[in-house]
Amino acid sequence: MSFRILPALFALLCLSPAAFAATYRCEVSGSVILTDKPCAGSGPAPMGSIGPTRTTSSYQTALPKMEQAPEYQRYLSQRCAELSEAVRTAPARGVAYATVNDLRREYSRDCSDDEQYARRKASEARRRDRDGQLAMRDDAERSREDAERLREKCIELRDSLRNRRVENETERLNKKAAEDAYNASCLGK
């Protein structure tokens, strides 16, 4: 090692990390400048950092919007699900167009039967869900109709009891039985 380089190296080693943190390397119009202030319009690129400096850009490229995974994907085999997911997310991950086409070809070659099976299973699951919801609605409607019929029957029994005059002992017992039936059916007593 040359003795002339040694003092320069010693001077660099004596500088504190704060001295490096206070020096910024900025790119302006294609040339690099050193400054003690952060670069205008971008984050700082402190001296001594590794990698390229940040440059400001007048626009940012938006990542392509990722489409939603198909509902049948959960019924695919693991390999076909992974291929499907790779094809679906490739544009957002910046995968090259040729690679995406290769993935699509591989998926269609190896997974067409599996996809048909998965689509059928997803369709059956949707149909079961729809049938279950329809059955629940029908049960709720029947319950409402039964409750309405009971309410109307109770109103009739109550009105009948109010309008009935007791003329003899038999009618009195019949009225008592009707009251007991009303209390049991309509009032839960």
The number of domains in the chain is: 2
Amino acid at 29: S
**Residues 57 and 43: beta-carbon distance below 8 Å:** no
Per-residue confidence band for 1, with pLDDT thresholds at 50, 70 and 90: very low
Query: Does 109 share its domain with 178?
Result: yes
Query: Does 24 share its domain with 112?
Result: no
**What average pLDDT does the chain have?**
76
Task: Report the alpha-carbon distance of residue 84 to residue 73 in Å, rounded.
Answer: 8
The answer to whether residue 64 sits within a structural domain is: no
Model confidence over 115-139: pLDDT tens digits? 999 999 999 999 999 999 999 999 9
Query: Does 131 share its domain with 40?
Result: no
Range of the domain at 45: 16-50
Task: Report the alpha-carbon distance of residue 101 to residue 86 in Å, rounded.
Answer: 11
Query: Does 41 share its domain with 87?
Result: no
Query: Does 22 share its domain with 93?
Result: no
Query: Does 87 share its domain with 40?
Result: no
Query: Does 21 share its domain with 109?
Result: no
Task: Report the alpha-carbon distance of residue 75 to residue 69 in Å, rounded.
Answer: 12
Task: Report the alpha-carbon distance of residue 128 to residue 136 in Å, rounded.
Answer: 12
The answer to whether residue 5 sits within a structural domain is: no
Query: Does 88 share its domain with 140?
Result: yes
Ramachandran category for residue 105: left, alpha or beta (phi over 0 → left; psi -120 to 50 → alpha): alpha
Dihedral (CA of 170, 171, 174, 175) sign: negative
Query: Does 132 share its domain with 39?
Result: no
Model confidence over 32-63: pLDDT tens digits? 666 667 777 655 444 444 444 455 555 555 55
Query: Does 179 share its domain with 92?
Result: yes
The answer to whether residue 183 sits within a structural domain is: yes
**Residues 111 and 84: beta-carbon distance below 8 Å:** yes
Least confident of 19-23, 63-67, 90-94, 130-134: 19-23
The answer to whether residue 136 sits within a structural domain is: yes
DSSP, res 28: E
Q: How far is CA 75 from CA 35, 160, 183, 189, in A?
A: 59, 62, 56, 54
Model confidence over 139-167: pLDDT tens digits? 999 999 999 998 888 888 788 777 766 66
| Mean pLDDT along residues 104-119 | 92
The residue assigned the tokens 């009707």 is: 178
- Nearest 5°: phi and psi at 135? -65, -40
